Every structure is written in structure tokens, then in C-alpha cells.
Amino acid sequence: VNFGKMTNGTTTTIGTGGCGPTALANVYRNITGRTDVTPTTVANMAIDNGYTTNGGSNAGLFTEGAGKLGLATQRIGPNDLGNALSRGDSLILSGVKKGSGSPYTTSGHIISVKGMKNGKAIVQDPMKSSSTTMPLSNLTAGLNKAWAVTGANGYGNMSWDSSSNIGYGPLR
């Protein structure tokens, strides 16, 4: 399903203001193995609970909102990303583009990370339809906020195919 053109409950669409809900839907899928929570589901929850700001998501989506989905989050710093991934946590990262190779945009972007493969982070970018890998240094450059995410009972990421990603891809 291409979620890009679906509304996020405001005047914007998932494709223009839905990277946060899409990242959280990816993390939910990584941790639970379930597909019942979509970017639209999360966007509607964000609108209903005040987790939006200026057409995008605010930090409440990744703390209280994640909790409503049965997930537990913890704010972590840039130096903690590798350790969190080693424990099996998924990550939600918010940042602004700094340098080449950055997964973020110049206006700010939210992505998820589901693990490590061959020493690189498996990045689930909502603007892409498949996962990519990149060095952790690309993720920390421009990083504003990071959350380590597990199931509320502490279980970590599932063994999904590394190319599995919910993304809205390019808008047509």
C-alpha cells in the first residue's frame, strides 16, 4: 500500500508530514511482527492525542503514543545507538541533514533503525520503499533526538528480512 497520498488527519499527507507515524509503524512491526498498525493508524492517533506540531510529529508520539501501542521507549544519546541496537532494540531517530550520506532532510526527518548488518545500521527511511544500510556515523551527524524502543515486556526486534520497510516512497 502506498501511504504517501493518504491524509494524516490534517491538511498534510503521510508523504509530506508523515515520517514520524511511518517510523513508529515500522518499529511496531519490527518488534511485534504484526501489520495491524499502519502509518495512517499512527497518524490518526497522533492527531487525536495532540502529538503533532506544524504538520509533523512531536516527541509525545514516541513516548506516550508508543506506549499506547504497547511499546516502551527510552531517550538515548548519539553514543548509545550501537549499544541499543546490540541489545536488539529498534530506534527512532529525528534529525536534520548534515553532510553527504545523511538520512535526514534539510527541514528535518524521522527514521527508524531495526538492527545491524555487517557492521552497518539497517535504516528504514519512510521516504523509501526498502531498507538501506549505513554507518552509525551517518546517523549521528545531524541527530536531534533518539529513542530506543522495545516491547513493553522488554522483547526486542523480530528477524524481519532486512529489506522489509513500510515506506511511502516517491510521490507520483
Decide: 8 and 43 in contact? Cβ < 8 Å. Answer: yes
Q: How far apart are CA 89 and CA 73, in angstroms?
A: 9
**How far, rounded to the nearest angstrom, does the alpha carbon of residue 135 sit from its chain's CA centroid?**
17
Q: How far apart are CA 51 and CA 59, in angstroms?
A: 7
* pTM of the shown model: 0.84
Instruction: Look at the chain and count its residues.
Output: 172
Spell out the per-residue pLDDT of the chain, length 172, in tens.
Answer: 334 444 444 445 555 568 999 999 999 999 999 999 999 899 889 989 999 887 688 999 999 999 999 999 999 999 999 999 999 999 999 999 998 899 999 989 999 999 999 999 999 999 888 899 999 999 999 999 999 999 876 554 444 444 455 555 444 3
